[in-house]
Amino acid sequence: MQEAWQQQLKECVTTPQQLTELFAIDATPLEAVAARYPLRISRYYLDLIEAVDDPIWRQCVPDVRELNAEGLTDPLGEENLSPVPAVIHRYPDRAIFLVSGSCATYCRFCTRKRKVGCSSMSLSFRELREGIDYIAATPQIRDVILSGGDPLLLPDPVLGDLLDRIHAIPHVEMIRIGSRIPVTLPQRVTDRLCALLKRFAPLYINTHFNHPREITEAASAACAKLADAGIPLGNQTVLLRGVNDDPQTISELFRGLLKIRVKPYYLHQMDLACGTAHFRTPIATGLKIVKALRGPLSGLASPHYVIDLPGGKGKVPLLPEYIEQRGERLLIRTQAGELVEYQDCR
């Protein structure tokens, strides 16, 4: 039997033609963008749009600027860190396990936009099994992070089966799930899903709110259900030009998240993924925002501001001791102590 959320997924907007009809705009120029990077917007998320080009619109509606070739196809060098196709293993004790190739809404700024929603991202059972076998054969891995795509788009039995297998590996101490479902399809957070997830404690969920208007009643209810099931909730926000790149919006967002029991975990500097250049902000913007939050806001609302350096050099907290300005050049010190030149935007 199909669940209500599965029905909702079928009703997603997936073509520029539908946008033309819904918003009385000419979306023909977006055909080429959607042909390159898939378009999908859940009806729920679409309903959050109040006006063309508002912060919700910008996150989900294709933009011709995505065809700008500037940027890297694999900005984090993830492909070099994949011992098997479904696993990204950069840090010894934790690994990302890509278990789903699709999302309820495709974010236009996605770092994996070269892959999500495309056939190259759809994972076969064999690839999932190889992922589990790799984790089982690698005793250093204590922390498994399910990602994708959106792991919570998997049907309950498939998700349950995967979690069972990971949970059964003796050296895996905890599981994390990265999911934007509470933001883009909160109806997916059913009582049955919560009961299922509860069995795998300690299981953490990191979700992905970027704007205070995403904290709706439905999103709050979804987070409440998860929190009531004993699941600690964190949030990863991406700093996006024209969406949330000012202290006012970010502080409203972080305060709102704490009210729904979601702890701001990371504020991410946009990475250099191809087709996302128009979202990029200079590092100085992020530093200014972080500084404005410290003091006025609860320490709980002060996440680490991080950058994931190109070429798989890892995440670095953007603190003064990691940044060196030499004239026009901006250098960032990696965790390994190496100084890397960073192409900041203006």
Ligand X SMILES: *Cc1c(COP(=O)(O)O)cnc(C)c1O
Catalytic site residues? 90-91, 94, 103, 107, 110, 112, 271, 308, 315
Q: Which listed option, ligand X, ligand SF4, none, makes contact with residue 106 (CB within 5 to 8 Å by class)?
A: ligand SF4
The one among 74, 150, 214, 245 contacting ligand SF4 by CB under 6 A? 150
Could you tell me if residue 26 is left (phi over 0), alpha (psi between -120 and 50 degrees) or otherwise beta?
A: beta
Q: Does 110 bind ligand SF4 (CB under 6 A)?
A: yes
Q: How far is CA 132 from CA 163, 176, 200, in A?
A: 10, 15, 16
Q: Does 180 bind ligand SF4 (CB under 6 A)?
A: yes
- Using CB under 6 A, which of the segments 6-14, 17-25, 148-156, 251-259 binds ligand SF4? 148-156
Beta carbons of 41 and 19 less than 8 angstroms apart: no
| Peptide bond preceding 202 in cis form (omega within 30 of 0) | yes
Q: What is the pattern of x (binds ligand SF4, CB under 6 A) and - over residues 267-306?
A: ----------------------------------------
Q: Which listed option, ligand X, ligand SF4, none, makes contact with residue 271 (CB within 5 to 8 Å by class)?
A: none
- Rounded to whole angstroms, the Cα distance separating 118 from 8 reads 20
The one among 61, 88, 152, 332 contacting ligand X by CB under 6 A? 88
Tokens of 221: 């209810």
Residue in this structure with the two tokens 């006025």, named with its chain if needed = 296
- Using CB under 6 A, which of the segments 4-12, 88-96, 195-203, 290-298 binds ligand X? 88-96
Q: What is the pattern of x (binds ligand X, CB under 6 A) and - over residues 280-309?
A: ----------------------------x-
Nearest to 37 by CA among 340, 231, 234, 274: 274
The one among 39, 96, 154, 175 contacting ligand X by CB under 6 A? 96
Beta carbons of 292 and 249 less than 8 angstroms apart: no
Beta carbons of 145 and 139 less than 8 angstroms apart: no
Question: Would you tell me how many other CB atoms lie within 10 Å of the CB of residue 281?
Answer: 23
Q: Does 103 bind ligand SF4 (CB under 6 A)?
A: yes
- Rounded to whole angstroms, the Cα distance separating 173 from 178 reads 17
Tokens of 85: 């196709």
Q: Does 322 bind ligand X (CB under 6 A)?
A: no
Tokens of 296: 């006025």
Rule CB under 6 A: which residues touch ligand SF4? 103, 106-107, 110, 112, 116, 148-150, 180
Rule CB under 6 A: which residues touch ligand X? 88, 90-91, 94, 96, 145, 308, 315
